[in-house]
Structure 1
């Protein structure tokens, strides 16, 4: 049976269960003549009479009874599954996949996730922690969390945390031995520990 016949099967079930074109039409919100034409087309496609019509009543034939036994449970299951889907409108559920940096995961996401999963147990959160940029569309992520300055131009961004301030620090022992720098230019004479990015480049310290 082709997918285009699903509507005809639904109409047949309504008429067969109501034993009336008039009551079935009222139930479906269409005219009795429209149901009659739909049943006729279904019978022609199946090449079998499904309903016996009289001036007073409508009843399924033997073929119609068999068809009811076949498709009624399937439609009941479809209705049940659709009802289950509509429940999601009032109760958030599903899996949320997020790609994030380690710092954002530790300081922003973990505290928020703890609250979310406690309030909405049907939500599952998957975190992919890495420093490099990720194509969230190609990798099928729902969201990505990165520093604002590293966004692609076509991405839509929403701030979820406070502004960050970077600081250059040194241990008291090192500063006592080598002296504290007075300006950023002085750092060229110090033993600095820097960060190598995933793409191989060295992070450029910024001052201004």
Structure 2
């Protein structure tokens, strides 16, 4: 039998993505060429590997078995090829990271762009995602999460100081609606909400004071994931927003936003870069980790 490992890579990518279109984009080939490649593999094996419909693609029983047996081996080969870069004069390779918008904007990007300038052969692919991504299954090298939500089987490197949330709105909003004295009073206000994929619903704002924890289900006209857009909505006078403190320091200083319930917003554990403890760290990955590592000194 003619052995072509590119055929296996094509099949594994399609099966994992559940789409010829997405897989073609990831592999940098046309959709028709990818479909032809997978079909050729099925003909050589004389077995159907994928169920195809107009809306989705999924592995057959035989395809699932091949995916589970071959997929991890191809991932191991990719890691070993990355390790060959260790023998290059300059560190090189592609690093895939997933992170939410706030971490990306405030922590990752300022440091990553310096790494890219210093090491032109390193490529970084960043996926902005608000959910708890399975970085092993999705083939990311690392992800970013808050310390309180880290998985125990991961290596975790701190990349930010401790964080704090802030409840803010414009002076005009407070003048028209009054300021809440306790978190419970927020239910009587127009609030700018966020729906988190990890919760499956609208996020309940979290508060704590003197050991007392309160979660408030607020309401309003807007539900939006982007913290940047929630801040813009608040600055536009559309209601109260609840965002990381570092995002509003300038607005608080110039008076365009006013803060309330500050005593109910304690610090909490910051962001961590996490990755599998079996990760074979390439020189490029080690450089990125060192660049992102946070030190209070």
TM > 0.5: yes
Unaligned ranges ≥5, structure 2: 1-83, 209-297
2:179 maps to what in 1?
A: 180
Q: Which runs of 4+ in 1 moved over 6 A?
A: none
Cα deviation, residue 149, structure 1: 2.2
Cα deviation, residue 97, structure 1: 0.6
* SS of alignment partner, residue 125 of structure 2: strand
Counterparts of 1:37-56 in structure 2, within 5 Å, are none
When Rg is computed on C-alpha atoms for both structures, the one with the higher figure is 1
Normalised by the length of structure 1, the TM-score is: 0.55
1:201 maps to what in 2?
A: 201
Unaligned ranges ≥5, structure 1: 1-83
User: Residues 45-101 of structure 1: CA distance to partner in whole angstroms, max 9, x if unpaired?
Assistant: xxxxxxxxxxxxxxxxxxxxxxxxxxxxxxxxxxxxxxx85533x532111110111
Higher relative contact order (CA 8 A, sep 6+): 2
Distance 1:188 1:177 in 2: 16
Cα deviation, residue 121, structure 1: 0.9
Counterparts of 1:49-198 in structure 2, within 5 Å, are 85=85, 87-88=87-88, 91-198=90-197
User: Residues 10-65 of structure 1: CA distance to partner in whole angstroms, max 9, x if unpaired?
Assistant: xxxxxxxxxxxxxxxxxxxxxxxxxxxxxxxxxxxxxxxxxxxxxxxxxxxxxxxx
Distance 2:195 2:149 in 1: 16
Aligned length, in residue pairs: 124
Higher strand fraction (1 or 2): 2
* SS of alignment partner, residue 185 of structure 2: helix
Alignment RMSD (CA, Å): 1.8
